[in-house]
């Protein structure tokens, strides 16, 4: 405790102003050694996080910049499996479902909403669709598009095709459609392709005519000779490859705050300090995979000074508290408290007793 007080005092002297941290959540590493897909996967898992996952076009551009070689195929982490799984285009976990009838194994791999219920539909049919904006508004388009066309349109002009995450969302969208006979695309589709690190990313950058799913072609390369567009190729051929290293990692273990700090310090760097909106966005991108309703952050209440501080001693500048938390003044009367982020909803921060056992987020970044 004495050491902590000294550290805090020192940090407060040094960090007179709130500093902004720079950096990216996902760092790509190009490995210029030829390996089969499975060998490459093992290499990345040992040295970094996993074979590269690509979540969006920004990731794709970042990845392209990392390869200093424009003649070649480079493995990424996308692999074909034997099982079709339903996914949201936006990458949300599929928890809520509202099928009119249980989905069948036919070739209808996209989903529409009609009269408030979901149905399977051929992805190449032309229908209206609903886009989602990051600010939580929805826009319905009545012009006809295939599911893929609708997805590209929404990604270009809004955020993505709509995800329907609960009954409230479903009712809202049903009301927007406002016609029991019209089928409208929602962001749900199913496919065989999965990322090596099991993330839900539905981003795809296939070249035209790809994946051609021919025979043994079951792993994905990015073609540096063609703007990085993706091809499926036989997993047993050797190519150079791309690993990624995530700055933040969600740990799906239930530990008290103090145990979580110890775990992160032993295995990574520390519990995460969310000192900017950017880091809050990264937190948002990993936290939805948590098992617990709240997830520990490196935030704790420092009773001597009567204030919240980050575990590395920084004052809390950027804030994302749930309403009312800051004005609770009894943080020191009972058990010491620490800060956690809600894994659902708006991902606000709340105060909890440190003995609660929650999932938590470690950072690997030594600089902040
Ligand atoms: C969309 O297709 C439907 C049925 O094929 C047609 O009735 C409707 O006029 C089309 N709407 C537009 C905007 O093209
Ligand atoms: C439904 O999900 C939305 C986010 O899509 C969230 O804002 C809302 O609070 C949820 N409602 C319920 C009742 O869970
Ligand atoms: C962790 O806690 C959550 C929520 O309380 C629970 O559902 C889950 O089973 C727990 N996991 C383990 C490994 O104990």
Taking the CA of residue 144 as reference, the ligand 1 atom at the shortest distance is 1
Structure-token pair, residue 53: 């996952």
- Of residues 198 and 231, more confidence is placed in 231
Q: What pTM does this model have? A: 0.64
Q: What average pLDDT does range 40-47 have in this prediction?
A: 92
Which CATH number covers residue 127?
3.10.100.10
Residues 148 and 42 in one domain: yes
Nearest in space to 159 (alpha carbons), one of 112, 206, 202, 207? 202
**Total structural domains within the chain:** 2
Whether the CB of 292 sits within 6 Å of ligand 3 = yes
- Of residues 314 and 51, more confidence is placed in 51
Q: Is residue 16 part of a domain?
A: no
Q: Which of 246, 267, 283 is the last residue of a domain?
A: 246
Angle value at C-alpha 18, between 293 and 4, nearest 5 degrees? 70
Q: Is residue 110 part of a domain?
A: yes
Residues 144 and 284 in one domain: no
Residues 234 and 287 in one domain: no
Whether the CB of 115 sits within 6 Å of ligand 1 = no
C-alpha to C-alpha distance for 249 and 247, rounded to whole angstroms? 7
Residue located nearest, by CA, to atom 5 of ligand 1: 126
Q: Which of 218, 246, 274 is the last residue of a domain?
A: 246
Q: Is residue 136 part of a domain?
A: yes
Query: What domain range is 279 assigned to?
Result: 247-363
Whether the CB of 133 sits within 6 Å of ligand 3 = no
Residues 77 and 163 in one domain: yes
Ligand lying closest to the C-alpha of residue 168: 2
Please report, rounded to a whole number, the percentage of residues in the chain having pLDDT higher than 90.
50
Q: Which of 69-83, 160-174, 187-201 has the highest mean pLDDT?
A: 160-174
User: In angstroms, what is the span from residue 203 Cα to ligand 3's centroid?
Assistant: 30
Q: Considering only 19-28, 87-96, 279-288, 348-357, which range has the smallest mean pLDDT?
A: 19-28
Structure confidence by residue, pLDDT tens digits, 57-85: 888 988 999 987 667 899 999 999 888 88
Q: Is residue 12 part of a domain?
A: no
User: In angstroms, what is the span from residue 183 Cα to ligand 1's centroid?
Assistant: 11
Residues 145 and 96 in one domain: yes
Residues 84 and 200 in one domain: yes
User: In angstroms, what is the span from residue 169 Cα to ligand 2's centroid?
Assistant: 7
Residues 110 and 81 in one domain: yes
Q: Which of 246, 262, 278 is the last residue of a domain?
A: 246
Structure confidence by residue, pLDDT tens digits, 146-165: 998 999 899 888 888 999 98
Residues 286 and 241 in one domain: no
C-alpha to C-alpha distance for 142 and 130, rounded to whole angstroms? 9
Structure confidence by residue, pLDDT tens digits, 289-320: 788 999 999 999 988 877 889 998 888 889 99
Q: Is residue 5 part of a domain?
A: no
User: In angstroms, what is the span from residue 292 Cα to ligand 3's centroid?
Assistant: 7
On the CB side of 43, CA atoms within 13 Å amount to: 20
Mutate which of 254, 344, 358 for ligand 3 pocket (most atoms within 8 A of beta carbon) = 254
Q: Return the pLDDT at 6.
A: 47
Residues 262 and 215 in one domain: no
Strands 73-88, 239-246: pairing kind? parallel
Structure-token pair, residue 263: 């775990």
Whether the CB of 291 sits within 6 Å of ligand 3 = yes
Q: Is residue 2 part of a domain?
A: no
User: In angstroms, what is the span from residue 144 Cα to ligand 1's centroid?
Assistant: 6
Residues 90 and 137 in one domain: yes
């Amino acid at each position: 405790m004495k050491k902590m007080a000294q550290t805090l005092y020192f940090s407060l002297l040094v960090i007179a102003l709130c500093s902004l941290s720079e950096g990216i959540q996902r760092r790509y590493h190009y490995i210029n050694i030829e390996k089969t897909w499975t060998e490459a996967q093992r290499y990345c898992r040992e040295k970094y996080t996993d074979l590269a996952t690509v979540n969006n076009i920004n990731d794709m551009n970042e990845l392209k910049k990392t390869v200093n070689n424009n003649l070649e195929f480079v493995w990424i982490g996308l692999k074909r499996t034997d099982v079709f799984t339903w996914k949201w285009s936006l990458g949300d976990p599929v928890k809520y479902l509202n099928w009119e009838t249980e989905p069948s194994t036919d070739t209808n791999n996209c989903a529409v909403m009609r009269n408030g219920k979901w149905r399977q539909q051929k992805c190449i049919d032309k229908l209206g669709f609903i886009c989602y904006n990051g600010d939580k508004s929805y826009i319905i388009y009545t012009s006809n598009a295939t599911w893929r066309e609708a997805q590209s349109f929404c990604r270009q002009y809004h955020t993505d095709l709509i995800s329907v995450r609960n009954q409230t969302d479903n009712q809202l969208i049903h009301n927007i459609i406002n016609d029991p006979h019209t089928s409208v695309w929602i962001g749900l589709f199913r496919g065989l392709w999965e990322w090596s690190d099991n993330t839900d990313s539905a981003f795809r950058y296939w070249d035209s005519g790809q994946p051609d799913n021919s025979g043994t072609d079951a792993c994905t390369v990015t073609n540096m000779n063609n703007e990085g567009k993706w091809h499926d190729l036989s997993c047993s051929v050797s190519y150079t490859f791309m690993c990624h290293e995530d700055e933040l990692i969600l740990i799906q273990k239930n530990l008290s705050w103090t145990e979580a700090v110890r775990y992160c310090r032993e295995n990574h760097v520390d519990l995460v300090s969310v000192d900017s909106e950017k880091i809050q966005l990264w937190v948002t991108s990993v936290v939805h995979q948590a098992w617990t309703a709240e997830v520990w952050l490196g935030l704790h209440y420092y009773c001597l000074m009567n204030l919240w501080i980050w575990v590395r001693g920084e004052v809390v500048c950027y804030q994302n508290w749930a309403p009312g938390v800051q004005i609770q003044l009894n943080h020191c009367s009972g058990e010491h408290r620490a800060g956690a982020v809600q894994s659902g909803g708006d991902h606000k921060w709340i105060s909890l007793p440190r003995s609660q056992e929650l999932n938590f987020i470690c950072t690997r970044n030594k600089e902040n």
